[in-house]
Structure 1
Amino acid sequence: MSLKGKKILLGVTGGIAAYKAISLTSKFTQLGAIVKVILTNGAQEFVTPLSFQAISRQPVYLDTFDELDPAEIQHIALADWADYVVVAPATANLIGKYANGIADDMLSTTLLAVTCPIYFAPAMNVHMYEHPAVINNMDTLRARGVIFIEPGEGYLACGYVGKGRLSEPETIADVLVEASNRAAILKGKKVLITAGPTEEKIDPVRVLTNHSSGKMGFELAAAANELGAEVTLISGPVTLETPVGVHRIDVISSEDMYRAVMNQYVHHDIVIKTAAVSDYTPSVSYDQKVKKTDGPLLLELKRTKDILQALGEQKTHQYLVGFAAETNDVLAYGKKKLENKQLDMVVINDISQPNQGFNADTNAVHILTKTGKEINIPLKSKTEIAQDLLSMIAKEVDRS
């Protein structure tokens, strides 16, 4: 259990639980981490900079405009320096500021410049923690990749009993150790992921498309980045934010997707194709809007290029993963896809089942590998599915 050499930027905000951040600094330091601390003005009402400096043997940062080194911009240098950022305790105020892009002190300004993984350990009154505004702010930050270390339940400083007390320093440290260990399993690997739908133009106002939201692919991209991979995400039209640390290429049509994927393919070690690419496209697309008539409109369609087939045929060193969204005979169709497309793994999901469709936040999958493995992952969040799947892929790649 070690954090040796890891650079941790610890943000401490103005809650009574700030005293625990001193123990957390000590714990990180004992595990071999280099810890630099930012104290907000509120935090300084509860704890002193000297306590953190004595334990960490590092400078403590208090003011955005107090530039300790004239050769650098302090908050940018700290953001670039860190391997991990931990905010403990994270108050409702800080959570709200970060969710809304407010930068009015050293900590909030630095957070907006950070590109490494960020962990928030909230601590507040139980009613504050359950307030819709706080919940919405936390949901916003989760969608942007912030990882929350859930508070514990018990007696709170305000006298209430409930959920809201800061997670113990040992628990927070364990989360960072686990993240550090996980971050190594795809280190040095280049991962290419496709996500979302495609749009096939009929005329300037109409397209053929599907219900894919891109959520599964974006969760996989975030998970692969967390595991240390260099990630390229090729996405059709979606409304999702790009995961932190991921290189994104936007496309529209199936032809756009084909060209982008084939251009990137040779440079990657692992390729995961979750995109729901249209199988057909209009034989003719019109430059002017097609006007309605009294009779039916006949639209002639032609087959698009089979991207997964092409990837399987041109595979050299890549580990190739395909997704199969089915509504019936899911295992039979999945096995057929695994064999016909020359895949290393196929991930099958039955989109006819509740909470497993394109727009759901959850999924359940059945995994088949070329080596004969069959693995069921029951209904979970797509975040958890992505983490489980990437861990399996990493083990398969190590064995190959």
Structure 2
Amino acid sequence: MAIGSVTIVKVDGMQGNFNEVERVFLYLGKIADPDRAAEIIPIAGNSDLDQLLGPGESELKTQIAAARQNSRNDRFACYAVGVPEDQDWKEVLYAALDKPADLNIEAVVLCTPLESKLEIQACMSAASEVLARFSKFITVIGCVTGIDKAKETWGAYITRVSALVDGVDGERVCIVPQLHGNDLGCVAGRLCDPAVSIADSPMRVATGALIGLGVADADVEPVDSAGAPLTMTTIEALAGKRFSVAQWYAGYDGVYWADMATLAPENSDYNVYENLRVVDYCARRVRSLAIGRIADRRLNSTNQSISANETYFMRPLREASQSTVLNEVELPAMIQPPEAGDVTISWNSRTEVSIAVSVRPYNCPKKITVYMGLDLSNA
């Protein structure tokens, strides 16, 4: 006679939360306390920078202080590592991302100015190396020195720094001229403001003006060797060379930011950082979902399975497209809601599958032209 039995089998639907790495940056540079060089130092909104990074001024402290102010929130969080004098920053980066530290970050901020084209090309090489070795999508945000007001005119400065990026192809590299001494930290913090989406450009004026632009021992406004001040003409010239720079609007209070340009070539989809950020956001999450489907026969070549798994892999797109309504005004999400066909699955063989994902950002006005005329019909 048969014996009745009940067996419970646990099934993992891979519906848990994803790790949130967006808005977490790793700062690398010179540190005031040499005893803490190469140590990974977590920093929060209420951290004492003198205690953690050493008393006195340092590259790390200057840029992180500016970043913390411009993030405009008490949940600011980052990591800092002082690069030893005899060590390459890239090796420090790899050590921080490898086990046992295994940091999850969105970007690395290089506080030591880059001085040659080879050094800037090495930034893209490092980002590619990180993706190959650790399967982590990161961007390198570097800087170049500001003007030498004792020797350079603005024209000579533009020529000098433009030569550093001329011909460089690096979609995962952004370069900031240190015109005020802490420009790098200001924009890095602006990119971590939780009040706005990662799909927003730091150009967004409604985010607010920059806070604390300029360092204590520098002039209020940069000038060249002839005493000429920094103007929007120089700003526009630098932006045209793919630098990311602060800007202002005539007759409008405050200093803001221009595009966060990358060193991607002309016509690239990724010549502004916000496009790269939303794609990386989705890529991190789709990769996690794909790992969960390895050798899982729930993903097979039947029509029913393909349809179910297209919905499964669409999850990051659905989450990124959740908008918010404030006072009956919709605040757009990172991307537009996914539609049928935004995720497609194709079988290349019995054991190899290809998944295509389309991410559709919203349009965003960066140049506004207003046409105005008279209506004299009732005159």
Q: TM-score, normalised by structure 2?
A: 0.33
Q: TM-score, normalised by structure 1?
A: 0.32
| Larger RCO, structure (CA 8 Å, separation 6 or more) | 2
